[in-house]
Amino acid sequence: MTINCKGTLIDLTAPKVMGILNITPDSFFDGGKYRDEAEIIDQVEKMLVDGATFIDVGAYSSRPGAKHISEEEELQRILPVINLLLKKNPEILLSVDTFRSKVAQEAIDAGAAIVNDISGGKMDDQMFSTIAKLQVPYILMHMLGTPQTMQKNPTYKDVTNEIISFFAAQIDQLHQLKLNDIIIDVGFGFGKTNTHNFEILKNLALFKSLEAPILAGISRKSMLYKTLDISAQEALNATTSANTIALLNGASILRVHDVKEAVEAVKIVGQLSL
C-alpha cells in the first residue's frame, strides 16, 4: 500500500506518523504556540527528528465552535509557513489541512504534497475536481455538519455503517475522476459523541473493507481527556493508548501532536507482526 508524494512512493504497509503544526491562535491544544519563524522551524525539526514522515499544517481551527475565517486570511497564514519550511528543508512532505479548493491549489503549487480535507469534499464543490487535476494524495475525512455546528446533538442510527457508506460514495466519485491516492479519516470528534467515537475506534478494522489507508487523528482529543476528567495537556498517555488500539485495528497513519511517542507505539505494535 503506497501513496505518491511529489514523486516519492511512501509505503504505508508499515504505519507512518504525521506531526501536527497548528498555526492558528485558537486550536484546542496548541493554539498560538507556533507563531514566529524560529518556533515553527524548531517544532518541525523536532517532529522530523522524532520520526514524522509528514507534517500537517493547519491555518483554520476546526475545534468545535471555532471562529470562521476568510479564505484570504487562511492563505495569508499558511503560504508563508509552507514557503518557510520548504526553504529550510526542500525534502519535507507537507500536508495542508484545508477544506477550500483554492487554498489546496495554492498550497500544492507552493510545494505541499498532500491535501487533508476535514469536510471530505462537502464544504467546497470544487475540491474533488481540483484534487483530481492536481493528482496528489487526498485525506478524505468524515464530519457531520461544520466545525461551528458539528457538536450540536450529533445523531446516527448506526455510526459505523453510516460513515462507511459516506466514504464509499465519496471514494466512488474520486475514482470516477481518476484519483487513486485516497486516505480515509473517520473524523474522531467531528460530529460525534464520546459513545460514537469509541464505537468507531472499536470498529476501525471494518473500514479496511474500503481498501484505502486509514488515518487516525485521536491526539489529545476530548474523547480522551473528558473520559478521564483531565485536560488536553494531560492526555498524552491516553493518546498513546488510543493510538495503539487504532494501530491494532488497521490504522496506517497516526496524526499526532507528540511524534516521538507515536513512533514508539508504531514500533511496539510492529513487533507483533515479526
Residue 251 sits in a domain of what CATH number? 3.20.20.20
At 258 the pLDDT is: 97
State the chain's mean pLDDT as an integer.
92
Query: Is 80 exceeded by the pLDDT of residue 64?
Result: no
Residue 197 lies in a domain: yes
pLDDT of residue 37: 86
Q: Per the domain annotation, does 214 fall within a domain?
A: yes
In a domain, 3, yes or no: no
* CA–CA dist 181, 209 (Å, integer): 16
Q: Could you give the CA distance from residue 22 to residue 55 in angstroms, rounded to a whole number?
A: 10
Q: What pLDDT shows up at residue 31?
A: 44
What span, in angstroms and rounded, lies between the C-alpha atoms of 41 and 7? 24
pLDDT tens-digit readout, 164-180: 999 999 999 999 999 99
What is the C-alpha to C-alpha distance for residues 5 and 95, in angstroms, rounded to an integer? 10
Residue pair 222/189 in contact (Cβ under 8 Å)? The answer is yes
What's the structural domain count of the chain? 1
On whether the CB atoms of residues 224 and 242 are closer than 8 A, the answer is yes
Q: Is the pTM of this model over 0.85?
A: yes
For residue 86, is it within any domain? yes
Q: Cell digits for 17?
A: 506518523
For residue 46, report the phi and psi dihedrals to the nearest 5 degrees. Answer: -60, -45
Query: Is the predicted pLDDT of residue 27 greater than 50, yes or no?
Result: no
Given a contact cutoff of 8 angstroms between Cβ atoms, the answer to whether 246 and 265 are in contact is no
Query: Can 255 be counted among the known catalytic residues?
Result: yes
pLDDT in tens, 201-250: 999 999 999 999 999 999 999 999 999 999 999 999 999 999 999 999 99
Set 77, 100, 192, 221: catalytic member? 221
Q: Which of 152, 226, 255, 267 is catalytic?
A: 255
CA distances from 108 to 37, 79, 105, 111, 178 (A): 21, 10, 5, 5, 18
Q: Give the pLDDT confidence of 74-132 residue by residue, as tens digits.
A: 999 899 999 999 999 999 999 999 999 999 999 999 999 999 999 999 999 999 999 99
Question: Is 50 a residue whose pLDDT tops 90?
Answer: yes
Instruction: Kindly state whether residue 105 falls inside one of the protein's structural domains.
Output: yes
Residue 152 falls inside a structural domain? yes
Range of the domain at 116: 12-273
Does the pLDDT at position 255 exceed 90? Answer: yes
121 within domain boundaries = yes
Give the dihedral sign, CA 40/44/50/54: positive
Does any domain span residue 106?
Answer: yes
